[in-house]
Amino acid sequence: MALTEKYKELIDVAGQYGVAVNDSGNVLKVDGSVPSADVKNKMWDIYSRLDPNFRSGDLVLNVKVDAPESGKVKVVTNESNLNIRKGPGTDQPIVGKAAHGDVITLVGKANDQWWLVRDNDGEEGYCYAQYLEPVQ
Amino acid sequence: MKTFRLLSVFTLILALGVSVSSCKKVSDADLQKNAQTVLATMPDAAGVTVSVADQVATLTGTVKDDATKAYVESAVAGVEKIKSVVNNLEVVPPAPDYAALDAAINTGLTDALKDHPKVQATVQDGVITLTGEVKQSELETIMQKLSALNPVQIINNATVK
């Protein structure tokens, strides 16, 4: 079955938000930004349903949530606290922690992986962006 | 007198002969050298060899695309006294270079897998391969982190517990 057929449901959602879909023959690449974490989660739910345990290796779903350069972000770790580090990397010393579910301030973005934040105690540092979700 | 005439004719023939043959010989060799000098200024023509015979240049070797093939031909044709060019160049598209992507992904992998000590990942040619052990509940998080590194493909060979 063609990949565009297998992932039709996902491609339809991508189409609604202008997310690029590229079919290289054996891997489908979905790449772009969506307006909210809900849409991103919905796309991952579809992916996980169409390809249980992500076993096929036939899709790269790289969707980011459109986040302004500054604003409020929520800590979306599984349950643990989120490390705030001195610099953008896990080799950097930890300068603070943000609790699961906390809403903290996004100050800027070092790159797609590491965002500069300020926690509610005023401590500034870098957090791994996958654990942060912009809040409106 | 007779000897002198003979000698001078002989000398003349010798001189002519040498000059004619040396002129022809130097010409093709010089043309080849000139063509090589032109090619040496073109980084895309590194895989090209040129030979010249009777003022006809023959190009052999490989180039990355049709445009380069045509460009190399016109450059050699432009060398003074080259009559024509036989273009036997073969177009071989280069394999994509994943070195930079692999390096970027490798840097990102350390951060991405920090919270998942039982899973290992390697990258080659932009393809991330997951091995080890992963909890069902953390698999999607891991996949999201890896996808954000913009790989070519993610192959999940990890055991899902």
Residues B126, A59: Cα–Cα separation, whole Å: 14
Confidence band for B94, pLDDT divided at 50, 70 and 90: confident
The CATH number assigned to the domain with range A71-134 reads 2.30.30.40
Q: List pLDDT tens digits, range B123-159.
A: 999 999 999 999 988 899 999 999 999 999 999 999 9
Is residue A28 within 8 Å of A58, Cβ to Cβ? yes
- Using DSSP, state whether A117 is helix, strand or coil: strand
Q: Which amino acid is at B111?
A: D
Mean pLDDT score, B39-68:
92
User: Does domain A3-65 bear CATH number 3.30.310?
Assistant: no
For residue B97, give the nearest of B71, B121, B64 by alpha carbon. Answer: B64
Right CATH number for B99-160 from 3.90.1150.10, 3.40.630.30, 3.10.580.10, 3.30.70.1770? Answer: 3.30.70.1770
In one-letter notation, the amino acid at residue B107 is T
ipTM surpasses cut 0.95: no
Pick from A127-131, B93-97, B120-124: least confident: B93-97
The label of the residue with tokens 């897998």 reads B113
* Second-level CATH architecture of B27-91: 2-Layer Sandwich (3.30)
Residue A90 has its nearest CB partner, among B110, B137, B154, at B110
Per domain, the residue ranges of chain B are 27-91, 99-160
Contact B150 A27 (CB under 8 A): no
**CA-based end-to-end distance of chain B:** 113
* B148:A112 CB<8 A: yes
| CATH 3.30.70 placement within chain A | 3-65
Beta-carbon count within 10 A of B39 CB: 20
Q: Residue A110's pLDDT band (boundaries 50, 70, 90)?
A: confident
**Contact by Cβ (8 Å): B142, B157:** no
Of A112, A113, A55, A54, the residue nearest B110 (C-alpha): A113
| Overall average pLDDT of the A17-45 stretch | 92
Determine the distance in angstroms separating the CA of B89 from the nearest CA of chain A, rounded to an integer: 29
Q: Which residues of B touch A (CB under 8 A)?
A: 108, 110-112, 114, 136-141, 143-145, 147-156, 160
pLDDT(B121) > 70: yes
Task: Answer for the pair A7, A59: CB distance below 8 angstroms, yes or no.
Answer: yes
The whole-number pLDDT of residue A123 equals 87
